[in-house]
Amino acid sequence: MESFYATKLDEFAKGKISRRALLETLTVAATTTAATTTAGAAGAPDPALKVALINHISYNCPDFRKAADWYSKVFNLEQVGATKIDVALPFGKKGEKPFGVTANDVPLTSLIIRSRDLNAPPQGGAAPRRKSQALVEHMGYTVADFDRERAKVELKSLGVENVRDGGLYSLHMTDPFGYDVQISGVANNALSDGA
Amino acid sequence: MEKFIDRLIRDFESGRLGRREFCQMLGIATAIYAAGGPEANAAPAGRGFKGLGVNHVSYLCPDYTKARDFYSSTFGMQVVNDKGKGRANLAFGPAPDKGGNFLVVHNPGANPPKTSEAVIDHVCYTISNWDEGKVRAALKAKGFNAPTGRDGSLHVYDPFDYDVQIGNAVQENAFRRGA
Protein backbone atom coordinates (compact mmCIF):
# COMPACT_ATOMS: atom_id res chain seq x y z
CA MET A 1 0.00 0.00 0.00
CA GLU A 2 2.92 2.35 0.72
CA SER A 3 4.01 2.13 -2.92
CA PHE A 4 0.52 3.23 -3.92
CA TYR A 5 0.80 6.24 -1.60
CA ALA A 6 4.21 7.03 -3.11
CA THR A 7 2.83 6.83 -6.65
CA LYS A 8 -0.03 9.18 -5.83
CA LEU A 9 2.31 11.56 -4.05
CA ASP A 10 4.60 11.62 -7.10
CA GLU A 11 1.65 12.36 -9.36
CA PHE A 12 0.71 15.25 -7.12
CA ALA A 13 4.29 16.55 -7.00
CA LYS A 14 4.42 16.49 -10.82
CA GLY A 15 1.11 18.34 -11.10
CA LYS A 16 -0.73 15.39 -12.62
CA ILE A 17 -3.42 15.40 -9.94
CA SER A 18 -4.78 18.16 -7.76
CA ARG A 19 -4.33 18.46 -4.04
CA ARG A 20 -8.03 17.71 -3.58
CA ALA A 21 -7.76 14.57 -5.70
CA LEU A 22 -4.72 13.43 -3.74
CA LEU A 23 -6.51 13.93 -0.46
CA GLU A 24 -9.62 12.06 -1.59
CA THR A 25 -7.68 9.19 -3.14
CA LEU A 26 -5.48 8.65 -0.13
CA THR A 27 -8.37 8.90 2.31
CA VAL A 28 -10.39 6.30 0.43
CA ALA A 29 -7.37 4.03 0.04
CA ALA A 30 -6.38 4.28 3.70
CA THR A 31 -9.84 3.65 5.09
CA THR A 32 -10.54 0.81 2.64
CA THR A 33 -7.22 -0.85 3.40
CA ALA A 34 -8.07 -0.67 7.07
CA ALA A 35 -10.83 -3.23 6.73
CA THR A 36 -8.61 -5.64 4.79
CA THR A 37 -5.76 -5.29 7.26
CA THR A 38 -7.99 -6.03 10.22
CA ALA A 39 -9.47 -9.09 8.60
CA GLY A 40 -6.12 -10.53 7.58
CA ALA A 41 -4.12 -9.86 10.70
CA ALA A 42 -5.60 -12.42 13.10
CA GLY A 43 -4.33 -15.89 13.84
CA ALA A 44 -0.56 -15.65 13.29
CA PRO A 45 1.15 -18.31 15.44
CA ASP A 46 3.52 -17.15 18.17
CA PRO A 47 6.55 -18.98 19.59
CA ALA A 48 6.28 -19.69 23.32
CA LEU A 49 8.17 -16.59 24.46
CA LYS A 50 7.31 -14.15 21.72
CA VAL A 51 5.99 -11.02 23.35
CA ALA A 52 2.78 -9.55 22.01
CA LEU A 53 2.67 -6.17 23.72
CA ILE A 54 3.66 -4.39 26.90
CA ASN A 55 1.36 -5.64 29.62
CA HIS A 56 2.25 -3.07 32.24
CA ILE A 57 4.86 -0.62 33.33
CA SER A 58 5.61 -0.77 37.05
CA TYR A 59 6.23 2.80 38.18
CA ASN A 60 7.38 3.26 41.77
CA CYS A 61 7.39 6.65 43.49
CA PRO A 62 6.98 8.22 46.94
CA ASP A 63 3.25 9.01 46.54
CA PHE A 64 1.37 6.77 44.14
CA ARG A 65 -1.90 8.68 44.49
CA LYS A 66 -0.28 11.94 43.41
CA ALA A 67 1.39 10.28 40.43
CA ALA A 68 -1.79 8.40 39.46
CA ASP A 69 -3.79 11.61 39.49
CA TRP A 70 -1.24 13.28 37.24
CA TYR A 71 -1.23 10.43 34.69
CA SER A 72 -5.03 10.23 34.84
CA LYS A 73 -5.26 13.94 34.13
CA VAL A 74 -2.75 14.07 31.31
CA PHE A 75 -3.74 10.85 29.51
CA ASN A 76 -7.41 10.57 30.54
CA LEU A 77 -6.86 7.21 32.21
CA GLU A 78 -9.18 5.57 34.72
CA GLN A 79 -7.81 4.23 37.98
CA VAL A 80 -8.80 0.64 38.77
CA GLY A 81 -8.03 -1.93 41.46
CA ALA A 82 -6.53 0.47 44.00
CA THR A 83 -4.87 -1.00 47.08
CA LYS A 84 -3.03 0.68 49.94
CA ILE A 85 0.17 0.76 47.91
CA ASP A 86 -0.77 0.86 44.25
CA VAL A 87 -3.33 1.42 41.54
CA ALA A 88 -3.61 0.42 37.87
CA LEU A 89 -4.29 2.82 35.02
CA PRO A 90 -5.23 0.93 31.85
CA PHE A 91 -4.95 2.62 28.46
CA GLY A 92 -8.60 2.16 27.57
CA LYS A 93 -11.90 1.01 28.93
CA LYS A 94 -12.84 -2.43 30.13
CA GLY A 95 -13.60 -4.68 27.18
CA GLU A 96 -11.58 -2.65 24.67
CA LYS A 97 -8.63 -4.12 22.80
CA PRO A 98 -5.23 -2.45 22.74
CA PHE A 99 -4.81 -0.46 19.55
CA GLY A 100 -3.21 -2.40 16.75
CA VAL A 101 -3.88 -5.77 18.38
CA THR A 102 -6.39 -8.27 17.07
CA ALA A 103 -5.69 -11.22 19.41
CA ASN A 104 -8.28 -11.77 22.10
CA ASP A 105 -5.85 -12.66 24.89
CA VAL A 106 -3.77 -9.49 24.92
CA PRO A 107 -5.06 -7.10 27.58
CA LEU A 108 -4.82 -3.34 27.49
CA THR A 109 -1.46 -2.00 28.53
CA SER A 110 -1.54 -0.48 32.00
CA LEU A 111 0.54 1.75 34.12
CA ILE A 112 0.76 0.28 37.61
CA ILE A 113 1.72 3.10 39.91
CA ARG A 114 3.14 2.04 43.24
CA SER A 115 4.73 3.25 46.44
CA ARG A 116 6.72 0.38 47.87
CA ASP A 117 10.14 -0.17 49.35
CA LEU A 118 12.14 -1.88 46.64
CA ASN A 119 14.90 -2.63 49.12
CA ALA A 120 12.66 -4.25 51.71
CA PRO A 121 13.86 -7.63 52.93
CA PRO A 122 12.22 -10.38 50.88
CA GLN A 123 9.58 -12.56 52.49
CA GLY A 124 9.29 -16.32 52.57
CA GLY A 125 12.95 -17.01 51.95
CA ALA A 126 12.94 -15.36 48.54
CA ALA A 127 16.19 -14.00 47.16
CA PRO A 128 16.76 -10.26 47.61
CA ARG A 129 15.98 -8.05 44.67
CA ARG A 130 19.05 -7.61 42.48
CA LYS A 131 20.49 -4.16 41.92
CA SER A 132 20.21 -3.43 38.24
CA GLN A 133 22.90 -1.89 36.05
CA ALA A 134 20.18 -0.80 33.65
CA LEU A 135 17.62 1.94 33.95
CA VAL A 136 14.46 2.89 32.14
CA GLU A 137 15.38 6.52 31.82
CA HIS A 138 12.23 7.72 30.12
CA MET A 139 8.90 6.42 28.91
CA GLY A 140 7.24 7.27 25.63
CA TYR A 141 3.45 7.20 25.34
CA THR A 142 1.32 7.40 22.22
CA VAL A 143 -1.62 9.77 22.24
CA ALA A 144 -4.41 10.30 19.73
CA ASP A 145 -4.36 13.23 17.31
CA PHE A 146 -0.96 14.45 18.38
CA ASP A 147 -0.08 17.89 17.15
CA ARG A 148 3.06 19.29 18.73
CA GLU A 149 2.05 22.91 18.94
CA ARG A 150 -1.46 22.19 20.16
CA ALA A 151 -0.07 19.72 22.67
CA LYS A 152 2.27 22.36 24.10
CA VAL A 153 -0.67 24.66 24.75
CA GLU A 154 -2.68 21.86 26.31
CA LEU A 155 0.16 20.74 28.56
CA LYS A 156 0.75 24.28 29.70
CA SER A 157 -2.92 24.67 30.56
CA LEU A 158 -2.74 21.46 32.56
CA GLY A 159 0.18 22.82 34.55
CA VAL A 160 2.66 20.25 33.25
CA GLU A 161 6.25 21.24 33.86
CA ASN A 162 9.39 21.32 31.76
CA VAL A 163 7.68 20.79 28.40
CA ARG A 164 10.22 20.70 25.59
CA ASP A 165 10.53 19.54 22.01
CA GLY A 166 11.58 15.98 21.29
CA GLY A 167 12.16 16.20 17.58
CA LEU A 168 9.50 16.90 15.00
CA TYR A 169 6.96 14.43 16.30
CA SER A 170 7.13 14.42 20.08
CA LEU A 171 7.37 16.40 23.29
CA HIS A 172 9.11 15.66 26.55
CA MET A 173 7.92 16.76 29.97
CA THR A 174 8.50 16.06 33.61
CA ASP A 175 5.98 14.31 35.85
CA PRO A 176 5.47 15.28 39.54
CA PHE A 177 8.42 13.14 40.62
CA GLY A 178 10.86 14.44 38.06
CA TYR A 179 10.46 11.48 35.75
CA ASP A 180 10.99 12.15 32.05
CA VAL A 181 7.83 11.47 30.02
CA GLN A 182 7.62 11.68 26.24
CA ILE A 183 4.43 11.88 24.21
CA SER A 184 3.96 11.50 20.51
CA GLY A 185 1.56 10.35 17.87
CA VAL A 186 1.93 7.21 15.86
CA ALA A 187 4.53 8.91 13.66
CA ASN A 188 7.11 8.16 16.31
CA ASN A 189 7.76 4.44 15.97
CA ALA A 190 10.51 1.85 15.75
CA LEU A 191 11.17 2.72 12.12
CA SER A 192 11.23 6.50 12.42
CA ASP A 193 12.89 6.82 15.82
CA GLY A 194 16.67 6.98 15.39
CA ALA A 195 16.40 6.57 11.60
CA MET B 1 -8.61 10.38 8.71
CA GLU B 2 -9.15 12.99 6.03
CA LYS B 3 -8.06 15.72 8.42
CA PHE B 4 -4.92 13.77 9.28
CA ILE B 5 -4.03 13.17 5.64
CA ASP B 6 -4.67 16.83 4.90
CA ARG B 7 -2.12 17.72 7.58
CA LEU B 8 0.37 15.24 6.13
CA ILE B 9 0.04 16.77 2.69
CA ARG B 10 0.57 20.21 4.19
CA ASP B 11 3.74 19.00 5.90
CA PHE B 12 4.90 17.44 2.64
CA GLU B 13 4.22 20.64 0.72
CA SER B 14 6.12 22.74 3.22
CA GLY B 15 9.08 20.36 3.15
CA ARG B 16 8.71 19.31 6.78
CA LEU B 17 8.00 15.78 5.66
CA GLY B 18 9.87 13.74 3.09
CA ARG B 19 8.29 11.34 0.60
CA ARG B 20 9.37 8.26 2.56
CA GLU B 21 8.13 9.63 5.86
CA PHE B 22 4.84 10.62 4.28
CA CYS B 23 4.22 7.08 3.04
CA GLN B 24 5.29 5.49 6.32
CA MET B 25 3.06 7.74 8.36
CA LEU B 26 0.09 7.13 6.18
CA GLY B 27 0.71 3.40 6.47
CA ILE B 28 0.78 3.67 10.24
CA ALA B 29 -2.31 5.80 10.36
CA THR B 30 -4.14 3.26 8.23
CA ALA B 31 -3.19 0.49 10.65
CA ILE B 32 -4.28 2.51 13.65
CA TYR B 33 -7.54 3.40 11.96
CA ALA B 34 -8.06 -0.30 11.27
CA ALA B 35 -7.36 -1.26 14.85
CA GLY B 36 -9.68 1.04 16.61
CA GLY B 37 -11.80 3.03 14.21
CA PRO B 38 -11.94 6.80 14.15
CA GLU B 39 -13.97 7.15 17.33
CA ALA B 40 -11.44 5.11 19.31
CA ASN B 41 -8.59 7.34 18.25
CA ALA B 42 -10.22 10.68 18.56
CA ALA B 43 -8.90 13.07 21.13
CA PRO B 44 -11.03 13.25 24.27
CA ALA B 45 -13.75 15.85 24.39
CA GLY B 46 -12.47 17.19 27.71
CA ARG B 47 -8.94 18.15 28.66
CA GLY B 48 -5.70 16.26 28.36
CA PHE B 49 -4.91 13.62 25.77
CA LYS B 50 -6.36 10.29 24.83
CA GLY B 51 -3.57 7.94 25.84
CA LEU B 52 -3.45 5.04 23.38
CA GLY B 53 -0.68 3.08 25.06
CA VAL B 54 3.06 2.82 25.43
CA ASN B 55 5.03 4.07 22.47
CA HIS B 56 8.47 2.99 23.65
CA VAL B 57 10.59 2.20 26.68
CA SER B 58 13.96 3.94 26.79
CA TYR B 59 16.34 1.44 28.34
CA LEU B 60 19.80 2.67 29.31
CA CYS B 61 22.50 0.06 29.98
CA PRO B 62 26.28 -0.37 29.87
CA ASP B 63 26.28 -2.34 26.59
CA TYR B 64 23.31 -2.04 24.26
CA THR B 65 24.47 -4.96 22.12
CA LYS B 66 24.03 -7.37 25.03
CA ALA B 67 20.54 -6.07 25.71
CA ARG B 68 19.71 -6.14 22.01
CA ASP B 69 20.81 -9.74 21.68
CA PHE B 70 19.02 -10.80 24.83
CA TYR B 71 15.64 -9.26 24.05
CA SER B 72 15.69 -10.28 20.42
CA SER B 73 16.78 -13.86 21.02
CA THR B 74 14.66 -14.48 24.11
CA PHE B 75 11.44 -12.62 23.41
CA GLY B 76 11.45 -12.44 19.63
CA MET B 77 11.79 -8.67 19.39
CA GLN B 78 12.82 -7.37 15.98
CA VAL B 79 16.01 -5.32 15.73
CA VAL B 80 15.42 -2.04 13.87
CA ASN B 81 17.64 0.99 13.25
CA ASP B 82 20.81 -0.49 14.71
CA LYS B 83 23.56 1.57 13.09
CA GLY B 84 26.24 0.40 15.47
CA LYS B 85 26.23 3.77 17.18
CA GLY B 86 25.25 2.81 20.68
CA ARG B 87 21.55 2.22 20.26
CA ALA B 88 18.96 0.04 18.60
CA ASN B 89 15.20 -0.25 18.53
CA LEU B 90 13.58 -3.56 19.39
CA ALA B 91 10.10 -3.77 17.93
CA PHE B 92 7.34 -6.11 18.97
CA GLY B 93 3.61 -6.53 18.84
CA PRO B 94 1.95 -4.97 15.83
CA ALA B 95 4.49 -4.20 13.07
CA PRO B 96 6.72 -1.17 13.70
CA ASP B 97 4.83 0.86 11.14
CA LYS B 98 1.45 -0.30 12.38
CA GLY B 99 1.41 0.90 15.97
CA GLY B 100 3.69 -1.62 17.72
CA ASN B 101 5.69 -1.04 20.88
CA PHE B 102 9.45 -0.81 20.93
CA LEU B 103 12.27 -0.92 23.39
CA VAL B 104 15.10 1.53 22.72
CA VAL B 105 18.24 -0.06 24.13
CA HIS B 106 21.09 2.40 24.37
CA ASN B 107 24.44 3.06 25.93
CA PRO B 108 24.95 6.02 28.25
CA GLY B 109 25.19 9.35 26.44
CA ALA B 110 27.44 12.28 27.14
CA ASN B 111 25.14 13.51 29.89
CA PRO B 112 24.12 11.46 32.90
CA PRO B 113 20.42 10.52 33.09
CA LYS B 114 18.23 13.00 34.89
CA THR B 115 17.63 12.24 38.52
CA SER B 116 14.11 11.34 39.52
CA GLU B 117 12.27 10.27 42.64
CA ALA B 118 10.42 7.73 40.54
CA VAL B 119 11.70 4.56 38.92
CA ILE B 120 10.32 2.02 36.49
CA ASP B 121 11.24 -1.03 38.53
CA HIS B 122 10.09 -3.60 35.98
CA VAL B 123 8.35 -3.99 32.67
CA CYS B 124 5.84 -6.77 32.07
CA TYR B 125 5.19 -8.16 28.60
CA THR B 126 2.12 -10.08 27.51
CA ILE B 127 2.59 -13.39 25.78
CA SER B 128 -0.31 -14.39 23.60
CA ASN B 129 -1.40 -18.05 23.45
CA TRP B 130 0.34 -18.68 26.77
CA ASP B 131 1.15 -22.33 27.35
CA GLU B 132 2.57 -22.81 30.85
CA GLY B 133 4.58 -25.89 30.02
CA LYS B 134 6.02 -24.46 26.83
CA VAL B 135 6.80 -21.10 28.41
CA ARG B 136 8.65 -22.67 31.33
CA ALA B 137 10.48 -25.10 29.04
CA ALA B 138 11.50 -22.27 26.74
CA LEU B 139 12.79 -20.23 29.67
CA LYS B 140 14.76 -23.21 30.93
CA ALA B 141 16.28 -23.70 27.50
CA LYS B 142 17.44 -20.08 27.67
CA GLY B 143 19.12 -20.70 31.00
CA PHE B 144 16.38 -19.51 33.34
CA ASN B 145 16.12 -22.50 35.58
CA ALA B 146 14.14 -20.91 38.38
CA PRO B 147 11.93 -18.02 37.28
CA THR B 148 10.04 -16.49 40.17
CA GLY B 149 6.34 -15.67 40.24
CA ARG B 150 3.43 -17.99 39.61
CA ASP B 151 1.78 -19.81 36.75
CA GLY B 152 0.80 -17.26 34.15
CA SER B 153 3.11 -14.58 35.56
CA LEU B 154 6.86 -15.11 35.74
CA HIS B 155 9.88 -12.94 36.48
CA VAL B 156 13.44 -13.30 35.23
CA TYR B 157 16.44 -10.95 35.16
CA ASP B 158 17.99 -9.67 31.96
CA PRO B 159 21.80 -9.51 31.48
CA PHE B 160 21.93 -6.27 33.47
CA ASP B 161 19.81 -7.62 36.32
CA TYR B 162 16.81 -5.65 35.21
CA ASP B 163 13.57 -7.29 36.33
CA VAL B 164 11.57 -8.60 33.37
CA GLN B 165 8.10 -10.00 33.81
CA ILE B 166 6.06 -12.00 31.33
CA GLY B 167 2.43 -12.82 31.81
CA ASN B 168 -0.80 -13.88 30.24
CA ALA B 169 -4.12 -12.09 30.02
CA VAL B 170 -5.61 -14.00 32.94
CA GLN B 171 -2.95 -13.37 35.56
CA GLU B 172 -1.84 -9.94 34.38
CA ASN B 173 -4.90 -7.86 33.63
CA ALA B 174 -5.65 -4.54 35.31
CA PHE B 175 -9.37 -5.23 35.37
CA ARG B 176 -8.88 -8.47 37.28
CA ARG B 177 -6.87 -6.96 40.12
CA GLY B 178 -8.21 -8.09 43.45
CA ALA B 179 -10.48 -10.63 41.76
Three-class DSSP labels, A145-169: CCCHHHHHHHHHHHCCEEEEECCCC
Q: Which of A54, A74, A78 to mutate: most B Cβ within 10 Å? A: A54
Query: What is the C-alpha to C-alpha distance for residues B89 and B122, in angstroms, rounded to an integer?
Result: 18
Nearest to A143 among B16, B50, B75 (CB): B50
Pick the most confident of A31-35, A138-142, B4-8, B94-98.
Answer: A138-142
- Give the pLDDT score at A143: 94
Instruction: List chain B residues with CB under 8 Å of A153.
Output: none
- Give the pLDDT score at A7: 74
Identify the band that residue B45 occupies on the pLDDT scale cut at 50, 70 and 90. Answer: low
> Domains of chain A (ranges plus CATH)?
2-34 (no CATH), 52-118 (3.10.180.10), 135-195 (3.10.180.10)
3-state secondary structure of B125: strand
Q: What's the rounded mean pLDDT across residues A65-86?
A: 97
> Each residue of B73-97: b (16+ CB within 10 Å) or e?
ebbbbeebbbeeeebbbbbbbbbbb
Q: What's the rounded mean pLDDT across residues A157-163?
A: 95
- pLDDT at A137 exceeding the cut of 60: yes
The answer to whether A140 faces chain B, any CB pair under 8 Å, is yes
- Give the pLDDT score at A74: 98
Of residues A40 and A82, more confidence is placed in: A82
Identify the band that residue B143 occupies on the pLDDT scale cut at 50, 70 and 90. Answer: very high
Query: What is the C-alpha to C-alpha distance for residues A61 and B168, in angstroms, rounded to an integer?
Result: 26
- Give the pLDDT score at B12: 80
- Give the pLDDT score at A62: 98
Answer yes or no: do B119 and A59 touch at CB < 8 A.
yes
A109-118, B4-13, B66-75: the lowest-pLDDT one: B4-13
Neighbours of A84 (CB within 10 A): 6
Identify the band that residue B46 occupies on the pLDDT scale cut at 50, 70 and 90. Answer: low
Min distance A143 CA to chain B CA atoms (Å) = 4
Answer yes or no: do A193 and B26 touch at CB < 8 A.
no
- Give the pLDDT score at A40: 30
Q: What is the pTM of this model?
A: 0.78
Of chain A, the percentage scoring pLDDT greater than 90 comes to 64
- Average pLDDT along chain A: 86
- Closest C-alpha among B142, B132, B135 to residue B71: B142
| Neighbouring residues of A137: CB distance < 8 A, sequence distance ≥ 6 | A180, B58, B59, B60, B113, B114
- Give the pLDDT score at A60: 98
Q: A175, B87 in Cβ contact below 8 A?
A: no
The answer to whether A39 faces chain B, any CB pair under 8 Å, is no
- Give the pLDDT score at B89: 96
- pLDDT at B121 exceeding the cut of 90: yes
pLDDT tens sequence across A6-32:
777 787 888 877 777 677 667 656 644
Identify the band that residue B124 occupies on the pLDDT scale cut at 50, 70 and 90. Answer: very high
Query: What is the C-alpha to C-alpha distance for residues A153 and A32, in angstroms, rounded to an integer?
Result: 34
Of chain B, the percentage scoring pLDDT greater than 70 comes to 85
- Give the pLDDT score at A15: 82
